[in-house]
Amino acid sequence: MVFAITGGHGEFGSAVVSHLKTLTDQPVVATVREPSKAQPVPGVDYRPGDFDDPATLRASLAGVETILVNATFFGTDPSARRRRVTAAIGAAAEAGVRRIVLTSWPDLERATMPTVQDYRELEAAVRAAGPSWTIVRLAAGLPDALARDVAWGRKTGELVAPANGASVTPAALTDLAEASAAVVLSTDLDSAVVELTGPDAIGWDKLADLAGVPFRAVTDDEFVVYLTGTFGLPEAAAQQLTALYVDFRSRWSATPTTTLADLLSHPATPGADAVLRRVARFPS
């Protein structure tokens, strides 16, 4: 059995590769855009794999039986992500891969943010591709989004967000990567949609506590003005960020489950800890 992970050079993909190599003695392939720049995990076969070059990706998947198609690049324009990931799914099917594991967006039925709607089409594409499939819904960047609020709160002296009454279930990236590796190795999750959440829900009052500042709830329009005026964000970026809070308030991904912990070899990281681990990524 040969397993492959796409995007094996990025933070999430490389973490999945590391966990996979720990969990199995079977061959592991990591596809990356530029193999010469990868920071190799010992024993892993690094092969070229650019979603914009499906022919090369298809050749690199020769002999692979199960692949994780890593679609966690959330900052990408959704039309580009849809095109690229669809091409990767097609390349895997044409290469004779027997099972495709696709990362998707959590609680997709409840998600309204325009920049994640392509995941609906990607899930349909993997279901129709031919090989057996498993969909892993996760938000690897969610702790970063919340950590940004904490960092901005520390910088300004108050945590400002249109999140009155909202809560969400962030999961640590390392936990998500380990759980995804476990899904890749699983033999009983064909045609399954696996929702990965953190073990607990946290709200913006808790985030303000982490920042050591008060929380001030605002409207969406007030938040856009705040982001453009205080941090100099372009209005389009501010509007896009605000759209995420619309989902937060609608209880998107707000219900914790035990699925993540069930897949791990240890307890899942508490949400507050998952957020605090990422705060240092943002300038104070």
Kindly report the CATH number assigned to the domain that includes residue 50: 3.40.50.720
The overall average pLDDT reported for the chain is 96
Amino acid at 162: P
Same domain membership, residue 158 and residue 100: no
DSSP string, 120-134: HHHHHHHHHSSSEEE
Q: What is the pLDDT at residue 22?
A: 95
Same domain membership, residue 124 and residue 61: yes
Distances (CA, A) of 35 to 6, 26, 39, 52, 60: 12, 21, 9, 16, 12
- The model's pLDDT over 205-221, given as tens digits with 9 standing for 90+, comes to 999 999 999 999 999 99
Same domain membership, residue 95 and residue 67: yes
Q: Indicate the pLDDT class of residue 73, thresholds 50, 70 and 90.
A: confident
Residue 85 makes CB contacts below 8 A (sequence gap 6+) with 51, 69, 71, 102, 122, 125
Q: What is the pLDDT at residue 272?
A: 98
Q: Indicate the pLDDT class of residue 124, thresholds 50, 70 and 90.
A: very high
Q: Indicate the pLDDT class of residue 225, thresholds 50, 70 and 90.
A: very high
Same domain membership, residue 122 and residue 67: yes
Domain ranges, residue 206: 142-169+199-254+269-279
Cβ 270 vs Cβ 140: under 8 Å: no
Checking if the pLDDT of 75 tops 80, the result is no
Q: Indicate the pLDDT class of residue 38, thresholds 50, 70 and 90.
A: confident
Residue 55 makes CB contacts below 8 A (sequence gap 6+) with 91
Q: Mean pLDDT over residues 182-191, rounded?
A: 97
Same domain membership, residue 32 and residue 91: yes
Q: Number of structural domains, the chain?
A: 2
Same domain membership, residue 68 and residue 96: yes
Same domain membership, residue 146 and residue 100: no
- The model's pLDDT over 161-181, given as tens digits with 9 standing for 90+, comes to 999 999 999 999 999 999 999
Same domain membership, residue 215 and residue 93: no
In a domain, residue 192? The reply is no
Q: What is the pLDDT at residue 221?
A: 98
Q: What is the pLDDT at residue 83?
A: 96
In a domain, residue 189? The reply is no
Residue (of 194, 199, 180) closest to 18 by Cα position: 180
pTM confidence score: 0.96
| 115, two tokens | 């920049």
Q: Indicate the pLDDT class of residue 35, thresholds 50, 70 and 90.
A: confident
- The model's pLDDT over 244-283, given as tens digits with 9 standing for 90+, comes to 999 999 999 999 999 999 999 899 999 999 999 999 999 8
Same domain membership, residue 117 and residue 157: no
Q: What is the pLDDT at residue 16?
A: 98
Q: Indicate the pLDDT class of residue 34, thresholds 50, 70 and 90.
A: confident
Domain at 206, CATH number:
3.90.25.10
In a domain, residue 264? The reply is no
| pLDDT above 90: percentage of residues in the chain | 93
Q: What is the pLDDT at residue 198?
A: 98
| Cα end-to-end span (Å), the chain | 47
